[in-house]
Structure 1
């Protein structure tokens, strides 16, 4: 049960990081107006890094296998 919970946690945190990173990058690239972050390149770079971390967490969560399971 613990392994399943950790997989789900990695995936959920990864999805949240991906969404937050995409919003930051969108604001930094001046695609999403209405914020003090809009048009500031720093937020574009921060958003890309956060989104990449989110993708890595999602992949790790999806690839993690339970102990004792057979691969058949």
Structure 2
């Protein structure tokens, strides 16, 4: 996967993880996920995966 695509996907996944966390905590309402403990736990995990993808996309590859 090319670096810009990896970075964009990582940002989107991290933002979705943040949204899921806020919905799980009941900060953002209007969905079945609002106030659900499952999403309050899964949201940060998803956000961390997104951040890892961004970091991998930003890393410089070692020159041979």
> Fold conserved (TM > 0.5)?
yes
Root-mean-square deviation (CA, aligned residues, Å) is 1.6
**Match in the other structure for 1:41:** 37
Runs of 4+ residues deviating >2 angstroms: 64-68
> What TM-score, normalized to structure 2?
0.89
> What TM-score, normalized to structure 1?
0.80
Q: How many pairs align?
A: 64
Could you tell me which runs of 5 or more consecutive residues in structure 2 were left unpaired when the two chains were aligned: none
Distance in 2 separating the partners of 1:41 and 1:22 = 14
Point out the structure with max Rg over C-alpha: 1
Distance in 1 separating the partners of 2:29 and 2:53 = 28
| Alpha-carbon shift at residue 67 of structure 1 (Å) | 5.0
